[in-house]
Structure 1
Amino acid sequence: MDRIQNPFSPGAGTPPPELAGRETILEQAGILLKRVKAGRPEKSMLLTGLRGVGKTVLLNELERMALDDGYRTTLVEAHEGKSLALLLAPHLRRLLFDLDRIACAGDRVRRGLAVLRSFVGAIRISVGDVDIGLDIEPEHGTADSGDLEVDLPEVFAALGEAARERKTSIALLIDEIQYANTTELSALIMAMHKVQQRQLPVVMIGAGLPILPGLAGESKSYAERLFNFPEVGPLPEHDAFRALQEPVRAAGVAFTPDALREIFRMTQGYPYFLQEWGYQAWNQATATPIGLQVVFEANARVAERLEANFFRVRFDRLTPAEKLFLRAMSELGSGPYRTSDVAEKLGVQIGKIGPRRAGLIKKGMIYSPSYGDIAFTVPLFYQFMRRAMTVFPSP
């Protein structure tokens, strides 16, 4: 088998050769984009799911769809501990300059730049020095209060009015949106609320961990009326088989049914893992069809790569106390886990594990699927923790 022709591409956000099992989300996004472009109100989207299910891949595909529909787009990745306002400002500047290049700038485009200049000035005061190269007088009294929940809606409204003037639409795509703090998430929700009230041609499509709907609801009770929250989960068996079989068919290769079933059993349908197993099985095979023995032989290499590239990079960011917490979780099985059971495993009172629990949620390692429960955000992480147990003491 020619390794150069290997169709699989495991990687962070790398598009798979076959985007299987996401037709409903793509259809829903297509309706959103076309309705907003036509001037009809429609809920924006916040995709939710664990690590490795393909949220970033979907965001990239949705940006491509928006561009095909004539949208001006920008894709932002939120970061832990970094101001969302600082991240957004240069992207909003680029969008407004993009609108400026469509034709001679109209009043709304010039006003949008002035409002953004005011916003940047307020950011400089509140979070420190920032310069995004706007040589324009600010619009004093607009988006310059220093209160993000007041200012960001003004900026989004000015952007939407500029887009409507230029007869185009804007798609803002934000990845890892769970890293936005409460104020930032509230400001985003309020900004989209203002945009929808004025029926401006702006959509927001975000992606984040399963805690996102709860965070949005806690931030603003009307969030569920502004956004749909499609869940991006593992693929069912038939879609997982398609994600493996269709790419190799183009090269005249096939997996045997036993091989497909074994890969599905090992991956539980998680797209990143499917790509990794498909990639290694192709490289291990010497001829078609790719059979069960080839999959068995590929397992060791897959495990090695997953530990180095998927699990270990997250594990190494943790403090010793956090590692003990996750070890206690893993010893209780696959989850979800009662917080009280984890405390009992650690031999401490439940009230004493709150800071560790909160820190792990903030780092995106665990989430709370329901009251009193916690679970890993990384698929199969409990198995990795069991293999890593010799690295640190028992709880």
Structure 2
Amino acid sequence: MSPRSKNPELPAETPNPFRPTFGASPRFWAGRKAILEGFSEALDSPVGHPDRAMLISGTRGIGKTVLLTELEDIAEARGWISVRGIGGAGMAEHLINTAIPSHIAKLNPQAETRLKTLGIAGLGRVETELDPRYGQLQPVPTVETRIRQLLDYTSGSGVFIAIDEVQDAPSEDLAAVAQAFQNLIKDELPVALAFAGLTVGTRDLLDLPGTTFLRRASAYELGPLTADDTMSLLASTADGSGIHFGNAAARRAAEASYGFPYLVQLIGALAWRVTKDNANSEVTEAVIEEILKEAIDTFGSQVHRPALRHVTDLQREFLRSMARLGREEQSIGEIAGLLKKTTTGISRIRAALIKQELIEPSSHGHVRFTQPYMAEHLLAEPRTRYIQ
């Protein structure tokens, strides 16, 4: 476990030390030491260190966004500029026209750029930019030219580009960012890049035209925290708050969280609050049991519900059949039986759900949910009746 780069000490009037909020860094880290140390070393090393380009993957709720935030903190502590992009339509355009220019404006308020659009008869619309430093018309900016402009104002430090939710980004936008990074590295400029997303999405990234060089980047797939790391994290986070976790409570919390960082923070926050409200100083195993339903319900609304937003009715029924069967893994044959279909007839549904990383193959002929408490969420979810 490693302390955060920022001061972890609590203020005199102690608030809840746990942070079950997406993207908010915890007070202490556990289980991700190799990534944090590798990135720190990369920024302190000459251009060419493999950890200056990272591919971070994992299932929902495993801590990818929080890890990007910590990498940004590490970069900024060294004087680097961090620019965040979120996968989705217009990601590259946002970097070019909003995210990077906003940093340029902060570093040099006089560096005001104006976009000009010229209509040329017979040729359609040709866009150019007026560069205020030279008073000349320049080609429309790209991700690469914008980063080069930003580097002009960084006083010798560097630029770190962090792209989250890569599975939702247009392939041409991801290729543009990757190609820009490759060209900047060829020129030995101080840049670093991290892509984060669901495992399938980051693997698909490597097959895009212009991104094959990323196969040489450092690839990390985030797995659940170990029970020991989880217990240590709970103890360290609560330390100094006037409330501590008993060994039995920490062990039960580790077991109930399945090592998912968001769930660890959520269980810790709820248990800490109940213990404080009861004017006690030790979180007990009974408190963990008391808050577990609320933690599961919150995890469902914050993690499972968004993940299920785009599933079809047939896919949802497949998942509900898995939930009704119970057990850690479910037989494809039994799922097909509940759906009154053949195993061949549900193969496409199975493949689509695996691609969405809602389920994963386990043993031969079996699948399981990729996240804890998905079954509980599906069984509690109200069913819609369709009327014709």
Q: Same fold (TM over 0.5)?
A: yes
Aligned counterpart for 1:249 among listed residues 223, 239, 250: 239
Aligned counterpart for 2:299 among listed residues 264, 288, 306: 306
State the 1:33 CA deviation.
Answer: 1.9
Change (3 A) 1:339 1:222: farther
Matches within 5 A, 1:217-236: 217-220=206-209, 222-236=212-226
Distance 1:324 1:18 in 2: 40
Q: Tell whether the 8 Å contact from 2:296 to 2:373 is kept in structure 1 after alignment.
A: no
Shifted more, 247-256 versus 46-55: the winner is: 247-256
Number of the residue aligned with 2:265: 275
Distance 1:133 1:279 in 2: 52
Aligned counterpart for 1:156 among listed residues 132, 140, 144: 144
Residue 101 of structure 2 aligns to which amino acid in structure 1? R
State the 1:332 CA deviation.
Answer: 6.1
State the 1:5 CA deviation.
Answer: 2.9
Residue 88, structure 1, aligned to residue 95, structure 2: yes
- Deviation digits for residues 305-324 of structure 1 (CA, Å, limit 9, x no counterpart): 33333333444554423311
Distance 2:364 2:161 in 1: 32
Aligned structure 1 segments of 4 or more residues deviating by more than 3 angstroms: 38-43, 95-101, 130-138, 223-226, 307-310, 312-319, 328-346, 348-362, 364-380
Residue 307 of structure 1 aligns to which amino acid in structure 2? G
Q: Tell whether the 8 Å contact from 1:99 to 1:163 is kept in structure 2 after alignment.
A: no
Q: Tell whether the 8 Å contact from 1:277 to 1:302 is kept in structure 2 after alignment.
A: yes
Gaps of 5+ in 1: 122-127, 144-151
Q: Tell whether the 8 Å contact from 1:55 to 1:207 is kept in structure 2 after alignment.
A: yes
Residue 391, structure 1, aligned to residue 383, structure 2: yes
State the 1:359 CA deviation.
Answer: 7.8
Percent identity, aligned pairs only, is 24
Change (3 A) 1:303 1:370: closer
Where 1:230 maps in the other structure, the secondary structure is strand
Q: Tell whether the 8 Å contact from 2:85 to 2:162 is kept in structure 1 after alignment.
A: yes
State the 1:278 CA deviation.
Answer: 1.2
State the 1:387 CA deviation.
Answer: 4.2
Distance 2:137 2:362 in 1: 45
Q: Whose helix proportion is higher, 1 or 2?
A: 1
Aligned counterpart for 1:201 among listed residues 190, 193, 217: 190
Distance 1:372 1:98 in 2: 57
Shifted more, 268-277 versus 377-386: the winner is: 377-386
Change (3 A) 1:23 1:243: same
Number of the residue aligned with 1:69: 78
Matches within 5 A, 1:84-163: 84-89=91-96, 90-98=98-106, 100=108, 138-140=137-139, 152=142, 155-156=143-144, 159-160=147-148, 163=151
Q: Whose strand proportion is higher, 1 or 2?
A: 2
Residue 181 of structure 2 aligns to which amino acid in structure 1? M
Q: Tell whether the 8 Å contact from 1:15 to 1:57 is kept in structure 2 after alignment.
A: yes
Distance 1:349 1:132 in 2: 58
State the 1:335 CA deviation.
Answer: 6.9
Residue 380, structure 1, aligned to residue 362, structure 2: no
| Structure-2-length-normalised TM-score | 0.76
Number of the residue aligned with 2:319: 326
Where 2:147 maps in the other structure, the secondary structure is helix
RMSD across aligned positions (CA): 4.1
Change (3 A) 1:338 1:181: farther
Residue 22, structure 1, aligned to residue 22, structure 2: no
Distance 2:218 2:362 in 1: 18
- Deviation digits for residues 134-169 of structure 1 (CA, Å, limit 9, x no counterpart): 9886524x76xxxxxxxx5xx415623761685231
Matches within 5 A, 1:293-372: 293-315=286-308, 317-330=310-323, 346=339, 347-348=341-342, 350=344, 354=348, 357-358=351-352, 361=355, 365=358
Shifted more, 315-324 versus 131-140: the winner is: 131-140
Number of the residue aligned with 2:159: 170
